[in-house]
Amino acid sequence: MEVIKIKGTDDTPTVTLDAANGIFEISGRSLPEDVAAFYNPLIDWLEAYSQSPNAKTIFDFKLAYFNTASSKMILDILMKLEDLQNNGHEVLAKWYYDEDDEDMKEAGEEYADIVDVTFEQIAIQ
């Protein structure tokens, strides 16, 4: 599969989707002007990946901030991971948050409640 690597900006997160090396990560700040244009290729990639996924998929979410529009797209990504898990594949979503950022911690907890994916909350100092 083709690798997606997007270098983050002040408004868009850094993204790596690399099935061959087992790297699935979104990090930084997410408030793109056109959220659909930014995230739809990632959703499409995950859809294609789901046709022949790795034995285990570990997806790292290392977001410092995201806006409301991005939150829906993050949920869409998590729902793709839920589909993978429901089809018998091992999936782990790792939600990293600054230990002082209660909002980001709660966002991870809310996502964990919504989707049926193995979820790990990781506080960073």
C-alpha distances (whole Å) from 22 to each of 16, 30, 37, 56, 61 are: 10, 23, 25, 8, 14
pTM exceeds 0.85 for this model: yes
Number of structural domains (the chain) is 1
Cα 107 to Cα 104: distance, rounded to the nearest angstrom: 5
SS percent in the chain: helix, strand, coil, step 5: 40, 35, 30
- What percent of the chain is modeled with pLDDT above 90? 98
Within its chain, how far is the Cα of 116 from the centroid? 14
- Whether 50 maps to a domain, the answer reads yes
- Whether 52 maps to a domain, the answer reads yes
Predicted local confidence at residue 63, as pLDDT: 98
- Whether 63 maps to a domain, the answer reads yes
Predicted local confidence at residue 36, as pLDDT: 97
- Whether 121 maps to a domain, the answer reads yes
pLDDT in tens, 82-123: 999 999 999 999 999 999 999 999 999 999 999 999 999 999
- Whether 90 maps to a domain, the answer reads yes
- Whether 17 maps to a domain, the answer reads no
- The parent domain of residue 84 ranges over 36-99+111-125
Cα 121 to Cα 50: distance, rounded to the nearest angstrom: 24
